[in-house]
Structure 1
Amino acid sequence: MADFVPGVEISTEAPTIEVTVSPDRPLPLGRQLFRLVVVDSAGNISKPDQVEVIIADQDAPTAVLRGPKVTPFGQSFGMDGSASFDAGGGKVVKWIWTYLGPAT
């Protein structure tokens, strides 16, 4: 596992590596570039190869709806969706409200 920092080379003697991220230090959303250069036993250095990895928010947001348990007949009341969140790195930008009719 490796903690990648832009522009800092990491040298290994294994042909694979894991990019280590954590919730407090994620890679930014969007296109991220990684480069690989290899060296053979004679010390010859390859031309670089690179890959573009798209870091995408693929987790659905969570809707949290709060409203009164009881309200007087004929009175208006408020509902609140402000506790809704997106743990996948995004931001809730729209709330879509629907009245579904009487509960059965």
Structure 2
Amino acid sequence: MAEFIINEPVKTEAPNVEVTITEANTLPPGRHRFRLVVVDDAGNESQPDEVDVIVADQDAPTAVLDAPGSVPTGRSFGLDGKRSFDAGGGQVVTWLWTYLGPSQR
């Protein structure tokens, strides 16, 4: 495991490494470029190889619907979805409201 800092190489003795993500060290959604240079036992360095990794928000958002417990007949009332959130780092940008008819409860 390694915490990567932009333009600071991380040296390992193994052919693989885990990119450690923490609250303090996160990668926001988007393209991120990584580079690998290898060195042989004679000290010769390879040409760099680079790859782009796409960090994508793949977590579904959570809908939280608040409404009054009861309302007088014939009166308008409000529905509120402002407590909805996206734990994957994105932002809720659209609320789709649907009336499903009388409840069976």
Q: TM-score, structure 1 length as denominator?
A: 0.97
Specify the alignment match of 1:84 in structure 2: 84
**1:18-60 superposed Cα distances (whole Å, 9 cap, x missing partner):** 0000234320110000000000001111000011100000000
CA–CA separation in structure 2 for the residues paired with 1:65 and 1:8: 46
Specify the alignment match of 1:23 in structure 2: 23
Contact 2:3 2:25 in 1 (8 A): no
Structure 2: gaps spanning 5 or more residues = none
Could you tell me the percent identity over the aligned residues?
A: 62
Q: TM-score, structure 2 length as denominator?
A: 0.96
1:1-104 correspondence runs (5 A): 1-104=1-104
Contact 2:65 2:80 in 1 (8 A): yes
Structure 1: gaps spanning 5 or more residues = none
Which residue type is aligned with residue 80 of structure 1?
D
**4+ residue segments displaced more than 6 Å:** none
